[in-house]
Amino acid sequence: MSGTSASLPQPPSLLDHIRPQALSLPESGIVEVMNYGRQREGMIPLWAGEGDLPTPSFISEAATRSLAAGETFYTWQRGIPELRAAIARYMSRLYGQAEDPERFFVTGSGMQAIQIALALTLSAGEEILIPSPSWPNAAAAAEVIGARPVYVPFSFDEVQGFWLDLDRLESAVTPRTRVIFINTPANPTGFVASHEALRGVLDIARRHGLWIVADEIYGRFYYEAGEAGRAPSFHDVMEPEDRILFVQTFSKNWAMTGWRLGWIEADPSLGAVLENLIQYSTSGVAAFIQRAGVAALERGESFVAHQIERARRGRDIVAAGLATSNRVHFAPPPGAFYMFFGVEGESDTRALALKLVDEAAIGLAPGTAFGPGGESYIRLCFARGEGQIGEATDRLVRWLQR
């Protein structure tokens, strides 16, 4: 430090004056590695929860037609009726129950669906239970409210993979608990709740008068789905009076990560309140984006099937590769599209992720980004084409065997 600058008084920082909750929000541990590696030539980026396929053109063209027709004005806060009806038809088909369009509220991303679900249920000083490791954004959205995420560690063994200990979940309930956040199939662990586990969570919620925020966005990415075409869901076990809010997104099934389009499913009696919360956060979603959503739901099934098949092959390639290395412990995940694994001798996974950028030209996400219990793991997104996944696996295995 130069003498001159040392003698100047330090200007007061604007950061000293913002809300403590905003200041203490975690920075994404994934973004750090992405920023470190994104410009490297030849990198294979498997850090984000995103595939390599752009949105199919029949979806984009629906937005283009809407724009050309001048659908550029304010629209329905709850979503255009056509999209709410299309969601209801899609959900009815997939879950085998006649769903009412009045249950569906269009949001500007699955993330916003979570934010609004929490604004509906959670106040400053209250608590939300989150099985962990987990995608960090739900916990962070609770922190923005001034609420406290309480992490409930998943159990792990190499036979079952990650599983949820219901006694441990229930023992984390306090008088301040208001919400249980359940992500199934889960990012990053690949955990998929059985119907028995879902019933167990629901029983706990009922006993303690809690809300469930059900994040089933990877429901189609379930590798043991069979005919059902989806993972077990709270839809299968709930009663109409249960306090469950479902959060959903178009991002994964239809390769629409960049669109910021999702929905909340809730009892229609909550409609006026949800509409207000949408009004006072972003005031709705562009109508032309919603038209794309209609196209995705009505004409997207073969694309979804293609994406699931691709992810399944990706999973098998990575699992086969990792099995040839003695340094890795993992269980092939039954759901979602991430391999979340530990590497023997590499306890600092942030450092590991940076080394893999430098030395193997692959981009993975460090487990430190996923909260308590994730620290010793690293996440690889396998929702990509066989060629890239094969090459990335080769690079990883070669690096592990050096």
Using CB under 8 A, which residues numbered 257 to 296 contact a second copy?
A: 257-260, 267, 269-270, 272-273, 276-277, 279-289
**In the window 329-388, what residues touch a second copy (CB under 8 A)?**
none
Among 3, 7, 42, 74, binds a second copy (CB under 8 A): 74
Please give the structure tokens belonging to residue 107.
């949001």
Closest Cα to residue 26, out of 128, 124, 141, 160?
Answer: 141
Shortest separation between residue 314's beta carbon and a second copy, angstroms: 18
Pick the piece of the chain touching a second copy (CB under 8 A) from 68-76, 89-97, 316-324, 391-399. Answer: 68-76
Nearer to a second copy, 96 or 209 (CB): 209
Measured from the CB atom, the residue of 78 and 395 that comes closer to a second copy is 78
Range in contact with a second copy (rule: CB under 8 A) among 62-70, 305-313, 317-325, 344-352: 62-70
The span from the CA of 384 to the CA of 230, in Å, is 20
Nearer of residues 137 and 388 to a second copy, judged by Cβ: 137
- Whether residue 212 contacts residue 242, with contact meaning beta carbons closer than 8 Å, is answered with yes
Report in angstroms how near the CB of residue 387 gets to a second copy at its nearest.
Answer: 18
Structure tokens at 383: 């929702």
Does the footprint of a second copy cover residue 325 (CB under 8 A)? no
* Cβ-based nearer residue to a second copy, 71 or 316: 71
What is the footprint of a second copy within residues 199-218 (CB under 8 A)? Answer: 209, 211
Distance of alpha carbon 170 from alpha carbon 68, whole angstroms: 53
* List of E strands, 177-324: 177-183, 211-215, 244-249, 262-265
Q: Can you give the C-alpha Rg of the chain in angstroms?
A: 22
3-state DSSP percent of the chain in helix, strand and coil, to 5: 45, 15, 40
CA 22 to chain centre: 21
Q: Which position among 29, 44, 55, 376 is part of the footprint of a second copy (CB under 8 A)?
A: 55
Member of 46, 83, 122, 357 binding a second copy (CB under 8 A): 122
Of 124, 120, 126, residue with least CA distance to 105: 120
Residues in region 141-200 near a second copy by CB under 8 A: 141, 143-146
Q: Which is nearer to a second copy, 158 or 241 (CB)?
A: 241
Site for a second copy contains 109 (CB under 8 A): yes
Selected range binding a second copy among 91-99, 106-114, 327-335, 354-362, rule: CB under 8 A: 106-114
Reduce the DSSP state of residue 392 to 3 states and report it. Answer: helix
Which residue, chain included where needed, has tokens 């094969």?
A: 390
Q: Does 64 bind a second copy (CB under 8 A)?
A: yes
Q: Are the C-beta atoms of residues 363 and 346 closer than 8 Å to each other?
A: no
Identified binder of a second copy from the candidate list 1, 4, 73, 224, rule CB under 8 A: 73
- Is 228 buried (19+), middle (13-18) or exposed (0-12) by CB count in 10 A? middle
- Closest to a second copy by CB, 64 vs 174, is 64
Q: Count the site residues for a second copy by CB under 8 A.
A: 81
Q: Are 242 and 214 in contact (CB under 8 A)?
A: no
Which residue's CB is nearer to a second copy, number 60 or number 155? 60
Cα separation values, 103 from 5, 29, 91, 205, Å: 61, 35, 11, 21
Q: Which is nearer to a second copy, 109 or 376 (CB)?
A: 109
Instruction: Based on the shown chain and the rule CB under 8 A, indicate whether residue 137 belongs to the binding site for a second copy.
Output: yes
Angle at 183 between CA 332 and CA 87, to 5 degrees: 110
CB of 298 to a second copy, least distance (A): 18
Smaller CB distance to a second copy: residue 231 or 285?
285
| φ and ψ at residue 41, rounded to 5 degrees | -70, 140
Question: Among 88, 192, 247, 256, which residue interacts with a second copy (rule: CB under 8 A)?
Answer: 256
Q: How near is the Cβ of 358 to a second copy at its closest, in Å?
A: 23
For 310, phi and psi rounded to 5 degrees? -60, -45
Q: Which residue spans within 165-215 are E strands per DSSP?
A: 177-183, 211-215
Q: Which is nearer to a second copy, 231 or 256 (CB)?
A: 256
Give yes or no for residue 85 binding a second copy (CB under 8 A). Answer: no
List, as own/partner pairs, every contact residues 3-8 make where C-beta atoms lie below 8 angstroms and the sequence separation is at least 24, other chains included.
none
Contacts with a second copy in 3-42 (CB under 8 A)?
11-15, 17-23, 25-28, 31
